[in-house]
Amino acid sequence: MLGLFIQQAPAALAMFDLKMRYLSVSQRWLEDYGLLGREILGNSHYEIFPEIGEAWKAVHRRALQGEVVRAEEEGFTRADGSVQWLRWEVRPWLGSDGRIGGIVIFSEDISRYKTAEARERHLSSVLRAIRSINQLISRARDRSSLLNEACAILTESRGYLSAWVGLWQAGARVALAASAGLGDQAVALAARLELGSCPQCCRELAEGPALILHRDTRAECGSCILADRIPGNGSLAGALRQGGRDYGLLVVSLPSILAADPEEQALFQEVLGDLSIALHALEGESVSVRAEEDLRLSERRFSTIFHSSLAPIGISRLRDGTFLDVNEAFVELFGHPREVILGQSAAALNLWEGLDRRAMIEELGGRGGRGNYEMTGLRKDGRTLSLLASMAQIEVDGEECLLGILTDITERKLAEAELHQALEEKESLLRELYHRTRNNMLAIMGMMSLRASTHPDASIPRFVEDISERILSMALVHEKLYQFRNLSRIDLGDFLAELARQELGRASVGGRVGLELSLEEVPVLIDTAMPMAIVVGELLTNALRHAFPGGRQGKISLALSHSDSGQIRLSLSDDGIGLAGKDGDRAGSAYGLSMIYAIVEQQLQGSIVRLQGLGTKYIITFRDDLYKERV
Amino acid sequence: MSPRPSLRVLLVEDEIVIGLYLKAELESAGYRVSRWVASGEAGIQAAAELKPDLILMDIRLSGGIDGIEAARRIHTAAATPIVFISGYQDPSIKEAAAAVGPLAYLCKPFRIGDLLPYLDGLASTSGKV
């Protein structure tokens, strides 16, 4: 009867004798302990389950001695590593003789309840974690604290065994941004990631899915250093994506059974979504914060520059000219107290003289326009100021304004005026000096001419004429100096061309004698030009006077060149009859030629060579470095 | 050189030596200086009285007005040909002189030969050769 009862009992029951041999067993026992189909009656319980530990055997012994031992729940680790939760009771049974005949073990496999309870507990933890993360998101001000605190919440709430966040870097790399529950492995993971190692979950997520489930990380996660951290654990890895941005991933470690739970996965995705939104918001906020900081910095800089600037600066409202701000230099410049200036317009304060403000604003041409204006300012004490104003149209707190940076150029303008006056005086003096010199030259020519006209010696008029020509040559040097506004140098080539044309025009050779000029531009000091005027004038006069007698036709050639070494070469030639028989050698040359040789060789320290052939040719070489520039 | 008494030349020059020299040179070329004065004011008056065929006008003169102003005033009454003879070579003065519409502007010192073509031209066009 008892045996039948045991067999049909809805619970797992087994009846043992004193030696723990099975006497009777319920169907449920066989099912719960995987003994269906096995012949166990008469066999020792310890033979059937050799893994039964000493703790259980002690319980059995206590029951065999008359004690009832029970447990509401107890985990029993199977040989395969799984844990079976049991509620059990072990009590003795008495034989008809009233003595203990053995024990009855009652057990109920409550693993299912325990799992459901654990799941409930876990989901509750995760929900708490989600709530905590939501609170965290609302107060987090930077990415690092957000992620670190989130990982801590996810693990400390016992929701997950570990959690870490990796953020994508350039080059498809991942950097460990935050972690919790990894212990020493956090450092190793960070190092691996730093070296470019990309865990399998990262690689899989990069291909697009939002969630990756690994039921058994040891089996599925390959070479990841976290793979065999906890045997039998699974993992969930989810992408942190929001607003088209892929920030990184969140990886949590949790028991496999939970990892596979769809509800668990849904909650995990909720965490992912919350963190992604937070990352996105922080990114936008950081841009906005940075912009605000930049603006604040810019304003600080402007304020510093504005108030410490030595240049007077004022900001006035565009529409009515009311001053909104001025710096100390502005106050000092105009002499009005700052509190008097602010709130008043320049017109009301009478700061400007003759300023057409409207025309200036039109010229600026709207916001961003700028320009420089010379203005006349009026100080409070009535003194006028010459000012250079750099104006710009800007916006201040939504109001169109004029920013004016002033430079007091009063002293500069006075100095300029004085300089201008001094220059005008110099010009006037110079003009009168030249005028006087040239007048005197004509007066000398006149005096000589008047005296010569009454002199009995018939050669005197020719002599006076020659001297007059030299005076005219020297006058031409003065004219060139004045023309080129250079009191030190003239272009010798230009001078000689004009001298030659004048001499030829004056000479009575009609159109018989041509002029061939090959004159480089050679600037020389007046100290060189003046003697060369005498030399070339004399040679030209001689050629025109003696080389083409009796209506002879011909040509006078004048060439001037200079070398890089500073040597100047002048050649003057004619194709006339030459000087043979008249001034054939230096000893017998006329006084004019002697003077020419003296000027070239002694004054200019050059050389002069006369070549005789079909005409006469003079080659003169000299330098222009005997004198220093005087002006 | 044969005299050309019919061409009336007014010389306005304040420097005696230069005036004498020009007068002598012109006379040796056959022209006669009809009148020689030393100031702008005298030049204006002489021009009105003499009605010369040519005025040789210095610019810097004694008196209150210079040769350019004197020429301008003379031209308001009659378009008498004027040749400025001056030591000034300043472009601003040359421009001011050019504004009066002169026949020529000769910079001192100059050769008499540079002046004669103007007189010759006037003499030939006026038929007073």
The token duo for A497 is: 């061309």
Residues from chain B that touch A447, judged by Cβ atoms under 8 A, are 17, 21
CA distance A438 to chain B (A): 5
**DSSP sequence for A398-425:** TEEEEEEEEEE-HHHHHHHHHHHHHHHH
Collapsing DSSP to helix, strand or coil, A337 comes out as coil
Q: Is the dihedral of CA A203, A204, A207, A211 positive or negative?
A: negative
Q: B28 to chain A: nearest residue by CA?
A: A453
Strands B9-12 and B54-57: parallel
CA dist., res. A532 & res. A553, Å (int): 27
Residue spans of beta strands (DSSP E) within chain B: 9-12, 33-37, 54-57, 82-86, 104-107
ipTM of the complex: 0.89
Q: Is A544's Cβ below 8 Å from some Cβ in B? A: no
Confidence bin at A586 (pLDDT 50/70/90): very low
Q: Which residues of B touch A475 (CB under 8 A)?
A: 109
Q: Yes or no: say if A457 and A466 are a contact pair by the CB < 8 Å rule.
A: no
Extract the tokens encoding B31. 């022209």
Which chain A residue is nearest to residue B13, measuring alpha carbons? A439
Residue A583 confidence (pLDDT)? 47
What does the CA dihedral A231, A236, A240, A243 come to, rounded to 10 degrees?
170
Quick check: A588 pLDDT over 50?
A: no
* Residue type for position A103: I
Q: Shortest Cα distance from B81 to chain A (angstroms)?
A: 23
Residue closest to A48 by CA, chosen among A75, A72, A29: A29
Least Cα distance to A259 among A220, A303, A287, A204 occurs for A220
Q: What is residue A590's predicted lDDT score, i.e. its pLDDT?
A: 63
Model confidence at A326, pLDDT cuts 50, 70, 90, reads very high
Taking CB atoms and an 8 Å limit, are B89 and A483 in contact across chains?
A: yes
Q: What is the mean pLDDT of residues A456-477?
A: 88
Give per-residue pLDDT as tens, A40-82: 889 999 988 888 888 889 989 999 999 999 888 777 776 666 6
Asked whether the beta carbons of A606 and A622 are under 8 A apart, the reply is: yes
What pTM was computed for the model?
0.50
pLDDT at A286 over 90: no
Q: Is the dihedral of CA A567, A572, A573, A577 positive or negative?
A: negative
What is the reported pLDDT for A585?
43
Q: Is A571 exposed, middle or buried (0-12, 13-18, 19+ CB in 10 A)?
A: middle
Whole-angstrom Cα distance, residue A52 to residue A55?
8
- Most confidently predicted of A36-45, A194-203, A571-580, B81-90: B81-90
Of A439, A446, A449, Cβ closest to residue B87: A439
List of chain A residues whose C-beta atoms are within 8 Å of the C-beta of residue B87:
434-439, 442
CB B85 within 8 Å of CB B64? no
Contact A431 B20 (CB under 8 A): no
| Rounded-to-integer distance, Cα A310 and Cα A319, Å | 27
Residue A600 to residue A617: CA distance in whole angstroms: 15
**Closest to A135 in 3D by CA, of A150, A148, A125, A155:** A150
Is A511 or A452 the better-scoring residue by pLDDT? A452
Backbone angles phi, psi at A81, to 5 degrees: 95, -15
Centre a 10 Å sphere on the Cβ of residue A160 and count the other Cβ atoms it contains.
29
- 3-state DSSP call for residue A480? helix
Probe site for chain A from B108, B110, B112 (most A CB atoms < 10 A): B108
Q: Helix, strand, coil % (nearest 5) of chain A?
A: 45, 30, 25
Q: How far is A478 from chain B (nearest CA, A)?
A: 10
> Which residue type sits at A167?
L
- How many CB atoms sit inside 10 A of residue A559's CB? 17
Could you tell me if A515 and A504 are in contact, meaning their C-beta atoms sit under 8 angstroms apart? yes
- Which chain B residue lies closest to A452 (C-alpha atoms)? B21
The predicted pLDDT at position A630 comes to 64
What CA–CA distance (Å, rounded) separates B71 from B55?
A: 9
Residues from chain A that touch B24, judged by Cβ atoms under 8 A, are 449-450, 453
Give the pairing type, strands A162-169 and A173-180: antiparallel
In this predicted structure, what is the pLDDT of residue B118?
92
Residue type for B102, please? Answer: P
CB atoms within 10 A of CB A483: 13
What mean pLDDT do residues A503-510 have? 81
My answer on whether omega of the bond before A50 falls inside 30° of 0, hence cis, is no
Give the torsion sign (CA, A186, A187, A193, A198).
negative
Least confident of A142-146, A448-452, A486-490, B119-123: A486-490
Q: In whole angstroms, what is the distance from residue A229 CA to residue B15 CA?
A: 123
DSSP string computed for A554-607? EEEEEEEEE-TTSEEEEEEEE-SS-STTTS-SSTTS-HHHHHHHHIIIIIS--E
pLDDT digits 0-9 by tens, A357-389: 888 888 888 777 777 888 899 999 989 999 888
pLDDT score of A447: 92
Q: A368 or A429: whose pLDDT is higher?
A: A429
Judged by a CB distance cut-off of 8 A, whether residue A453 touches chain B is yes
Residues 6+ apart with CB under 8 A from A180: A148, A151, A152, A154, A155, A156, A162, A163, A164
Kindly state the helix (H) or strand (E) to which residue A463 belongs, with its residue range.
Answer: helix A460-483
Under the banding of pLDDT at 50, 70 and 90, the label for residue A584 is very low
H-helix or E-strand containing A372? Answer: strand A370-378
Instruction: Find chain A residues with C-beta within 8 A of B26's C-beta.
Output: none
pLDDT exceeds 70 at position B2: no
Overall size of chain A counted in residues? 631
Return the ∠ at Cα A481 (arms to A479 and A484), rounded to 5°. 105
Distance of CA B57 to the CA centre of its chain: 4
